[in-house]
Amino acid sequence: MRPNGIFALLFLLLLATVLPSAARAQTAKVPGDWETLRPEGEEFSILMPKSSSAETSKEPYHKMTLNTRLYLWTIPAGPVFAVASLSGIKANPAMYTEMERVNSYVDAFKGWFPKKVRGKDAVAKLTLVGAKTLNGHTGREYKLTIGDLSGSVNVYATRRRFYAAVVLNTKKDDALSDRFLSSFFLPDKIIEAPATVASQKKETKVEPEEFDPGPNFQGQKPDKPDSKTPAVGAEGSTETPTDSKNPTPASTPEAAGKRAPISGGVLNGKAITLPRPEYPADARAARVGGVVVVQITVDEYGNVISARAVSGNQMLHQVCVNAANQARFAPTFLMGEAVKVTGVITYNFVPQ
C-alpha cells in the first residue's frame, strides 16, 4: 500500500473515533430521561429531567421573611430547568389586589433566584411579556436573562404560594422550553363564597396561610411566626378578635383604613431602579424617536402595579410600558403611613 493510502486510512479511522465523541458531547447538553415531579407539600406538578435537586431556605424581603423552595436541574453550560416556590405574602383582597401580591413576589424572586444559578453577584434582567392564567390562578409571563443564560419564566400565585417555572439556556431551543413550561400544572382555583355578617358572629379561630418550618425541621413543633410582623398587607394577628362587637365589613377602601393614591408628578428622579426600554428595531429603522410618557401607579412597597403609555409614538409604547413595570421606588409615607403614588415616567428616544 502506498504511503498516501496509509495516511488516508489513518485519517478515516481518526474521524470515526472523534465524530461520535463530539456528537455525544453535544447531546449531553440535552437532558435524557424525564419524570413527573410532584413534591410533597406543594400544589404543582411538572415534567422535570431526572435527578433534579431540591433545597429550602428563608430569605429576607423588606421587613418580612419568605419561605423559599427551589427544585433545580442544571449543568454549567445550560440548560437550566427550575421551579421556585415562595410563601409568606398572604392573599388579602380587602387590603390589596392579587396582582399587587404577584408583583411583590416577582420582585423577591428577581433578587433571590439569579444567585442560585450564576453566583452571588448575578443580576437578572426581567422583561414582561404579558398576563397569564392557569386554571383560574393569576400569573404573568416574562423573558429572563442572567449572564449568558436567557429564556422564559411563567409565574402564578395560589392562595398559599407563589410559583415560578423557569427555563434558561445559552442557545435558543423553543421545543425544549415549550416541553417544560407547558407541563406545569396547578389544580383549579377554588372560589370561596364571601363571608356574611351572620357567619362572622361565630367565634372561630382563623388558621394562618402556611408556616414553613424550613430545611432543619425534623418533627419538633415549630415556633409560630411573629404576629407583630405580618406579611405585605396582611392583618397583624391570625386569630379572630375576642371583642364582643360583631365586625362590620368595610364597604370602601377608605373605610378599611386605606388612603387614596397621592400624586407624585414626574417620578424618574425618585426611582431606585429605572430600566431603560429597548429601542425596537422597526422604530430605529424608521428613525422614530421623541418622548414617550407612561402613567404609573406605585403601591405602598414601591412596586409598579399599573402602567400605560399616554403620549408619544405608538411604535415605542409597549417597550416603555414593559420598562416602567420593572421600575422600583422607595415606599412613600404620609403621616407615618405608606401610601400609593401616581405619576409619570418619561423616556426619550433619539433617532440614530
Q: Where along the chain do its domains lie?
A: 35-181, 262-349
> What angle is formed at CA 307 by the lines to CA 134 and CA 320, rounded to 5 degrees?
105
Cis peptide before 79 (omega within 30 of 0): yes
CA distance 337 to 258: 9
pLDDT confidence of residue 155: 95
Mean pLDDT of 168-194: 85
In CATH, what number does 35-181 get? 3.40.1000
pLDDT confidence of residue 29: 53
pLDDT band of 225, cuts 50, 70, 90: very low
DSSP state of 70: E
Contacts for 112-120: CB closer than 8 Å, 24+ residues apart: 112/59, 112/68, 112/84, 113/70, 113/82, 113/84, 113/164, 113/166, 114/146, 116/70, 116/72, 116/82, 117/72, 117/74, 117/80, 117/82, 117/146, 117/149, 117/168, 118/146, 118/147, 118/149
107 and 303 Cβ atoms separated by less than 8 Å: yes
Question: Which CATH topology does 262-349 take?
Answer: TolA/TonB C-terminal domain (3.30.2420)
pLDDT at 198 over 80: no
CA distance 135 to 154: 14
pLDDT confidence of residue 113: 95
What is the three-class DSSP state of 125? strand
b (16+ CB within 10 A) / e for 158-192: beebbbbbbbbbbeebeebbeebbeebebeebeee
Closest CA to 321 of 295, 285, 284, 342: 295
pLDDT tens for residues 279-331? Answer: 999 999 999 999 999 999 999 888 999 999 999 999 999 999 999 999 999 88
210 and 87 Cβ atoms separated by less than 8 Å: yes
Average pLDDT along the chain: 78
86 and 67 Cβ atoms separated by less than 8 Å: yes
pLDDT band of 195, cuts 50, 70, 90: very low
Q: Mean pLDDT highest for which of 55-69, 210-224, 231-245?
A: 55-69
**Virtual CA dihedral for 239, 252, 66, 52, nearest 10 degrees?**
110
**Phi, psi angles (nearest 5°) of residue 27:** -70, -15
CA distance 304 to 111: 16
Residues present in the chain in total: 352
pLDDT tens for residues 33-82? Answer: 899 999 999 999 999 999 999 999 999 988 889 999 999 999 888 899 99
Closest CA to 102 of 146, 151, 162: 162
> What angle is formed at CA 58 by the lines to CA 299 and CA 225, rounded to 5 degrees?
75
The H or E element spanning position 248 is none
Closest CA to 146 of 116, 173, 188: 116
CA distance 235 to 250: 14
Q: Kindly report the pTM of this predicted structure.
A: 0.53
pLDDT confidence of residue 49: 93
pLDDT tens for residues 96-129? Answer: 788 888 888 999 999 999 999 988 889 899 998 9
What is the three-class DSSP state of 170? coil
The H or E element spanning position 281 is helix 281-285
Sign of CA dihedral 85, 88, 89, 93: positive
